[in-house]
Chain A
Amino acid sequence: MDKFDKLTGIAAPMPMINIDTDMIIPKQFLKTIKRSGLGVNLFDEMRYDDDGNEIPDFVLNQPAYREAEILVAGDNFGCGSSREHAPWAIKDFGIRCVIAPSYADIFYNNCFKNGILPIALPQEQVDVLMKEAEKGANARIDIDLEAQTVTTSDGDVFSFEVDAFKKHCLMEGLDDIGLTMEKAAAIDTFEARARAERPWV
C-alpha cells in the first residue's frame, strides 16, 4: 500500500450530503476483476452526459480541479454499498484525502486499506475548508498526518482525530494481512478453544 504522511494539494469542493457509493462509482464499473483503472469513471453519472461527453459544470471537469488531490464534501460521505471500487476510483483519479463532517463506516475503513486518508472535522471547519476549496488552484490545503492537522492557505489550522493503529498503517504503508498473520498463534489458540466450546460452527 502507498504510504501517506504529508500532502499539499488542490481541494475540490462537493458541498452535498449523503454522497453515496453508487454516485462515486456506478454499478456498471463494478464488473472489473482489477483494482486499477477506475479513476476515469469516478462520479461517472455526474461527470459525463449520456453520450459520454464531460459535463463542464461538474467540479472535477473544471480546469481548476482536474488535478485535485483532496475532496471536501458534506455529511455522511460514502454511504451505501461496501464496494471498495469507491476508494479505488478516488485513488485512481489522484485524490488521496477526503474531508467531510462524517463518513459511512465501511467506506471509511476501506479508505485506509488503500492509502487514502478520510478526515472528519466539525461542520463549521468543513465549511471554512469548502470556501477555501472554492478558490481552486489559488488555494492549496496542507495535510499533515503525523501532526494530525489540516492547514489552509490563510494559515488556519484544524486538528483531526484518527485511530492510532490506522494512522500507523497508513504512514508506514503496512499490509494489515501480514500484521495479522504475525498473530497466527493467538488465532490458533482461539480457534481450538472455540471448536471445543462451539463444535457446531
Chain B
Amino acid sequence: MSPKTLYDKIWDAHLAHEAEDGTCLLYIDRHLVHEVTSPQAFEGLRMTNRPVRSPDKTIAVPDHNVPTTLDRAKGIDNEESRIQVEALDKNAKDFGIHYYPVSDIRQGIVHIVGPEQGWTLPGMTVVCGDSHTATHGAFGALAHGIGTSEVEHVLATQTLIQKKSKNMKVEITGKLRPGVTAKDITLSVIGATGTAGGTGYVIEYCGEAIRDLSMEGRMTVCNMAIEGGARAGLIAPDEKTFEYCLGRPHAPKGAQWEAALAWWKTLYSDDDADWDKVLVIKGEDIAPVVTWGTSPEDVLPITAAVPAAEDFTGGKVDAARRSLDYMGLTPGTPLSEVEIDTVFIGSCTNGRIEDLRAAAEILKGKKIKDGLRAMIVPGSGLVRAQAEDEGLADIFKAAGFEWRLAGCSMCLAMNPDQLSPGERCAATSNRNFEGRQGRGGRTHLMSPAMAAAAAITGHLTDVREMM
C-alpha cells in the first residue's frame, strides 16, 4: 500500500462517490451551524421541501450576534440580530437538530462548544459555515469552512462536493522559548507563508513544539490555518487528544471507545508520505509576536519596529502603505511604544480556559492602565463557569477587566462590542482586517499573555519583561 498522509487517510475514509472527472462527494460526520450563515440555507430546504438528512450529526449554537453583557437574558436590542437568533431557534426546532440556545450554560462559540461537548473527534470530517472551522483540525479531524450554499448542500445530503487539496507539512522543531505560545506559532507561520501561502493545501502541523502543545494550544494553531489560506489545518491525534476526548458528553463510551481508539491510533502521516510543500521553522526562533498591519501576515516580533512600505515588494508596497495609513503608524516606531485604547481577550482562537489562565497569570495582583477599556469574553458558558471556580474571574475583575458572557463578541463586532474609529485594540482574535472590529478600528493580534501585558502598561508590551 502506498504511503499516505493523515489528510489522505481521512479523505479516503470519507469518500462516498468519485465521478469520472475526479469530482468527489465527501461524507460529512459533523455539521456545526450558527445563526449568521445558516438562515438562507434552511430557507432553501423549505423552498425545495427537503429535510435535513442527518439531524443527529447537525449541531447548532448562536454565537456571532449574541450580547455578552450580563443583562442579556432581557433579549437582543438590535432587531436584525434578534431575528437572526430567533430564526436559528426556529430552524433547530423545526428540523430537529441538536441545539444550545443562548439560555443554555453550554452555549458559546461554535468552535469551542464542538470540542467541549465531544462532538469533534479524531478522524472525522467537520464543516461549518465559518472559516475558523479549521480549529477542529487539532483533533486530527478534517475540518473546514463552507459557504451558505454548501451549508444547504450538507444539510440536504450530508456530503460536500470536493476536489482533493494538496498536502503541506509545517514542522515546528524543538522547544519554544519562555513567553512564546501557540498563538505566536500560528502567527509566525502566516508571517512566513503569507495569507495565500496555504491556498490549495491542507496543512499538517507537526514537530516537537506542536506535540508539546496542549489540545487547547493545538486548537489555537489550527484555528488560524485559514488565515494562511489553507483549506484546513491538521494535527495527528495522540495520547493528549484521546485524554481530552475521554468522558466528553458525546464521545464514545465502553466498547465503542475502545473501537474508536484502535482506529484513531492509525491516524498519522506515514514516514515516507509525499508532501507537495514543506515548511520547517525552529521553535527557538519564534518570538512573542504582534501584527502591525491589516492582514494577518503582517507579523513581527514585539522587539521589532513598524516597517516602511518600501521594505516590501510587488503589490505589498501599496498594501503596506494603505495598512500603515489605516493603522495610524509611523515607520520606525518601536512596536513596544505603540499605545492602545482597548484590550479584547476572547474568540475561537483564544477564548478557552488555558487562554484565560495565561492572562490571569500576568494580571494577578495588577491593575490595567487608567482609562483603558478591557474585556474578557470566555468562549463558552462552561469556560466562564470554570474560570469563576478557579478564581480567574476575580483576578480579571480586580484588575479592571469587564467579565462577559460567552460569544464571538469583538472578534467581528456583530454584537454591540465594537471599536470606534481610530480606537486601537490589543486583541487575541484572528483577523486585523480594516473595519473588522468596528469601522475605523485598529487591531493588533497577539497571544492572551501579550494582551494582558498590554492591558497593564497601556502599550504593546513584551510579556517576557513581566515573567
Contact = CB atoms under 8 A, between A and B. Distances in A.
A199 B200 CA distance: 32
Contact of A81 (B44, B131, B163): B131
Given A33-B87, A183-B17, A191-B27, A177 B152 contact: yes
Contacts of B413: 27
A136 to B, nearest CB: 21
Contact of B27 (A34, A110, A187): A187
A30 B436 CA distance: 13
B149 A33 contact: no
A26 interface: yes
Contacts of A184: 157
B40 interface: yes
A187 B195 contact: no
A18 to B, nearest CB: 5
B351 interface: no
Contact of B21 (A22, A165, A186): A165
Contacts of A104: 196, 199, 229
B260 A190 contact: no
A114 B149 contact: yes
Contact of A26 (B259, B315, B435): B435
A33 B433 contact: no
A31 B275 CA distance: 41
A199 to B, nearest CB: 6
B195 A84 contact: no
A109 B65 contact: no
A112 to B, nearest CB: 9
B377 interface: no
Contacts of B159: 180, 187
B260 A198 contact: yes
B423 interface: no
A44 B59 CA distance: 33
A181 interface: yes
Contact of A164 (B21, B25, B40): B21
A106 B147 contact: yes
B9 interface: no
A186 B16 contact: yes
A133 B81 CA distance: 39
Contacts of B13: 194, 198
Given A76-B195, A80-B433, A113-B150, A27 B27 contact: no
Interface in B384-436: 412-414, 421, 431, 433-436
B46 to A, nearest CB: 12
A187 B414 contact: no
B27, B315, B414 pick with most chain A CB within 10 angstroms? B315
Nearest to A17: B315
B36 to A, nearest CB: 5
Contacts of A45: 434-435, 439
A114 B84 CA distance: 22
A191 B157 CA distance: 11
Contacts of A146: none
B147 A110 contact: yes
B230 to A, nearest CB: 8
B252 interface: yes
Contact of B161 (A180, A198, A201): A180
A30 B36 contact: yes
B341 interface: no
A187 B14 CA distance: 10
A23 interface: yes
Contacts of B48: 177
A179 B43 CA distance: 19
A156 B446 CA distance: 47
Nearest to B130: A82
Contact of A187 (B29, B144, B157, B319): B157
Contact of A82 (B57, B145, B322): B145
Interface in B257-300: 257, 259-260, 263, 295
A105 interface: yes
A76 B199 contact: yes
Contact of A200 (B161, B257, B414): B257
Contacts of B149: 84, 110, 113-114
Interface string B198-223: 01100000000000000000000000
Interface in A12-45: 15-18, 20, 22-23, 26-28, 30-35, 45
B78 interface: yes
Contacts of B231: 105
Interface string B53-65: 0000100000011
B342 interface: no
Interface string A138-156: 0000000000000000000
Contacts of A106: 131, 144-147, 226
B50 interface: yes
A113 B315 contact: no
A186 B15 CA distance: 10
A84 B148 contact: yes
A16 B200 CA distance: 21
Given A27-B414, A30-B414, A165-B21, 4 more contacts: A33-B40, A177-B152, A183-B16, A187-B27
7 contacts: A17-B318, A27-B436, A33-B43, A45-B434, A165-B161, A177-B157, A198-B123
Interface of B: 13-17, 19, 21, 23, 25, 27, 29, 36-37, 39-40, 43-44, 48, 50, 57, 64-65, 78, 80-81, 83-84, 87, 121, 123-124, 129-131, 144-150, 152-153, 156-159, 161, 163, 195-196, 199-200, 226, 229, 231, 251-252, 256-257, 259-260, 263, 295, 314-316, 318-319, 322, 412-414, 421, 431, 433-436, 439
